[in-house]
Structure 1
Amino acid sequence: MEKKPTLMLVDGMALLFRAYYANSYGGYIRRTASGIPTNAIYGFIKYFLDAIRTFAPSHVVCCWDMGSKTFRSDKLPSYKAHRPEPPLDLIPQFSLIKEVVESFGVPNIGFEGFEADDCIGTLAHRFSTEMDVYVLTGDHDMLQLVADRVKVIIMKKGASNYAVYDPEFLLSEKQLTAAQFIDLKGLTGDTSDNYPGVKGIGEKTAVKLLLEFESIEGILANLPALPRGVRAKIEADLEMLHLCRELATIRLDAPIDCVLDDCLWCPDPQVLRNQFEHLEFQSLLKEIAKIASAS
């Protein structure tokens, strides 16, 4: 029976950072005989193949950030500016992992000035008109992309542990729709991305407001009905509220090229064998036959 066409969009940085920290426990870093660190790449492959086996996509794309300067940092210079430099052992793995992804026959997609989230959002929006789309990530910001034909797979702690969000599950677990997740971030900000939202408005208050008034527009149209303290906080931070919602919104129009036929999941076993041997991943060689049969 022919496999139903489905596209998996992989959040490359989310997988790579998760793999690095999961495979540097106790300070041990896997390296090749020549000293090149490979622990994050090894973990990435394990996560990646597990997701492929679990969700069986027919097409796969991997999306990447292309540097810290984006249209968001142009609008708010402090955006993500507080983030520490990556660990030294991870830095050489940034370019190596893209070679590994290519060895699977999977395109690496990114665009200067945009984040991987925007590339994923753009491709999900573009290709969900013709097939179901899975977004593989650990980033809850991606939940705003959930739609009838777009499922967001959140990687949870432990192997093969996923939360798969469609519109119904998102509403039942989070009380909010995908669109309301954007407004939630506009109200509360995001400490990990370093934008403030409305000062003094926490998640509990924000969710309550969105449940009652549906959107930021609905809240602003009903300011007189709000408790005096909440109203004062919103009125004092109106400009920041709108800016933070803009920062939180994943773009669906990043100027990226991606041809669906180039994304077909059909890895070449010999190319993979050469890559795994080059990186001294002897324990992964046994996976090649499984990969070939699955594709």
Structure 2
Amino acid sequence: MEKNQVLLVDGMALLFRGFFATSFRGNFMLTSKGVPTNGIYQFLRYLLDAVDKFEPTHVVCCWDMGSKTFRTEMYAGYKANRDEPPVELVPQFDLVKEVVAAFDIPNIGLESFEADDCIGTLARSYANEENDVLILTGDQDILQLVDDGIHVAIMRKGQGNYEVFTMDNFYDKKGIHPKQIIDLKGLMGDTSDNYPGVKGIGEKTALKLLQEYETINQLLANMDQLSKGIQTKINNDLEMLHLSRELAGIKCDVPIQCSLDEAIWNMNETKVQEKFAELDFGHMNKLLKVMA
């Protein structure tokens, strides 16, 4: 029996990527009512390209639901370095979900959690002898979810350019195993999410330590074997090391569910064309012909 191929889409990653890929030229694309749609337009191009390339049987799209999450409660500085979204992007947050719904793709998100947590929870619940899962994102954090039956396609520069990570190729590409990504971030921090890890330990040192000791716990159990410099850095930042590791871990037990029966990829072309007409996306109908 052929397995189902479930595509889990990191909606916000695609929308932000699409918005900034076009807005730097000042190209916001406006509907006849003056609503900007450039992020949605590019989001659709990314989504439809991935569906064309990977040929999923099922598609689910996950979203962040606001900037306040359990992580901001744990550490006020979490993502505090990020600017407010540009005013042209704000109306596209709700509108893009309407477009996704027009494709009969479920929109999944839960307040206090990030899209990553929803993706992790669904990926774990779907991956079995009947389903393979592919996560589409531009976010390296999600690499920690790679497992048997769970692959991650990282979007690279240029349309239709993906790097796919699997259990078979992960170590060759990264030098560590997927579950070690959390400890890697615990040690080196994450500048884009604004948590520091251990001051003075960068990616190179963190990788070396994990290749030798496998986990932060084993590293701490063998502190006497480390150089004095590394010992000092870890001791000075022990609390932040534990906190950073906790912030880095994707939660895979979020109280959400989405039946795969709701997520079958079976586009209703008329319904999608009606939505496109609302957004003055008539020129995108030729993309639908390719998908049909």
Per the TM superposition, whether the score is higher than 0.5 is yes
Q: Tell me: CA distance 1:55–1:36, structure 2 relative to 1, closer, same or farther (3 Å).
A: same
- 1:167 partnered with 2:167: yes
Structure-1 separation of matches of 2:169 and 2:144: 13
SS at match of 1:160: coil
2:107 and 2:27 mapped to 1: Cα distance? Answer: 29
Q: Which residue of 2 aligns with 1:230?
A: 230
Q: Post-superposition shift, 1:287?
A: 2.2
Q: May I ask how many residue pairs the two structures share in their alignment? A: 291
Q: Is residue 145–residue 178 contact of structure 1 (8 Å, CA) maintained in 2? A: yes
Matched with 2:59 is 60
Give 1:168 shift: 2.4
Cα RMSD (Å) of the superposition?
1.1
Superimposed CA distance per residue, residues 153-177 of structure 1 (whole angstroms, 9 cap, x where no aligned partner): 0000001100000022221011010
Asked whether the equivalents of residues 184 and 207 of structure 2 are also in contact (C-alpha less than 8 Å), the reply is yes
AA in 1 matched with 2:7: M
**2:113 match:** 114
Instruction: Go from structure 1 to structure 2 and tell me whether the alpha carbon gap of 1:266 and 1:164 turns closer, same or farther (over 3 Å shift).
Output: same
Aligned-partner SS, 1:286: helix
Is 1:33 the counterpart of 2:32? The answer is: yes
Q: Alignment identity in percent? A: 55
CA distance in 1, matches of 2:40, 2:132: 28
- Does residue 93 of the first structure (1) align with residue 92 of the second (2)? yes
Residue of structure 2 in register with 1:288 after alignment: 288
TM-superposed deviation, 1:3: 6.3
Given the two structures, how large is their TM-score scaled by the length of structure 2?
0.97
Q: 1:122-133 maps to which residues of 2 (within 5 A)?
A: 122-129=121-128, 130-133=130-133
Residue of structure 2 equivalent to 1:155: 155
Q: Counterpart amino acid of 2:289?
A: A
Q: Counterpart of 2:241 in 1: which secondary structure?
A: helix
CA contact (8 A) 2:6 2:56 kept: yes
Structure 1 unaligned blocks of 5 or more: none
- Given that 2:273 and 2:282 are in contact with CA atoms closer than 8 Å, whether structure 1 keeps it comes out as no
Deviations, residues 250-270 of structure 1 (Å, cap 9, x unaligned): 000011121110010011111
Native 8 Å contact 2:71 2:247 kept in 1: yes
| Displacement of 1:289 | 2.7
Distance (whole Å) between structure 2 residues aligned to residue 85 and residue 235 of structure 1: 35
Counterpart of 1:33, as a letter, is S
For the pair 1:146 / 2:146, whether they are aligned, the reply is yes
For residues 217-256 of structure 1, the aligned pairs below 5 Å read 217-256=217-256
Residue 275 (structure 1) aligns with:
275
Tell whether the 8 Å contact from 1:144 to 1:182 is kept in structure 2 after alignment.
yes
Deviation track 1:200-240 (CA, whole Å, cap 9, x = no partner) reads 11111110100111111111111000000101111121111
Tell whether the 8 Å contact from 1:3 to 1:58 is kept in structure 2 after alignment.
no
Structure-2 residue corresponding to 1:23: 22
Residue identity opposite 2:90 in structure 1: I
Distance 1:16 1:118 in 2: 18
In structure 2, what is the equivalent of residue 137 of structure 1?
137
Name the CA distance, whole Å, in 1 between partners of 2:22 and 2:266.
Answer: 28
Letter in 1 for 2:198: V
Tell me if the contact between 1:4 and 1:58 (Cα under 8 Å) persists in the aligned partners: no
Do the aligned partners of 2:122 and 2:257 also contact (CA within 8 Å) in 1? no
Report if the CA contact (8 A) 1:11-1:63 is conserved. yes
Gaps (5+ residues) in structure 2?
none
Give the match for residue 10 of structure 1: 9
CA distance in 2, matches of 1:175, 1:168: 12
The change in CA–CA distance for 1:27 and 1:3 in structure 2 (over 3 A counts) is farther
Matched AA of 2:123: A
State the shift of 1:278 in Å. Answer: 1.0
Secondary structure in 2 matching 1:285: helix
Secondary structure class of the residue paired with 1:133: strand
Following the alignment from structure 1 to structure 2, what is the Cα–Cα distance between the partners of residues 167 and 285? Answer: 37
Question: Contact 1:154–1:164 at 8 Å: present in 2 too?
Answer: yes
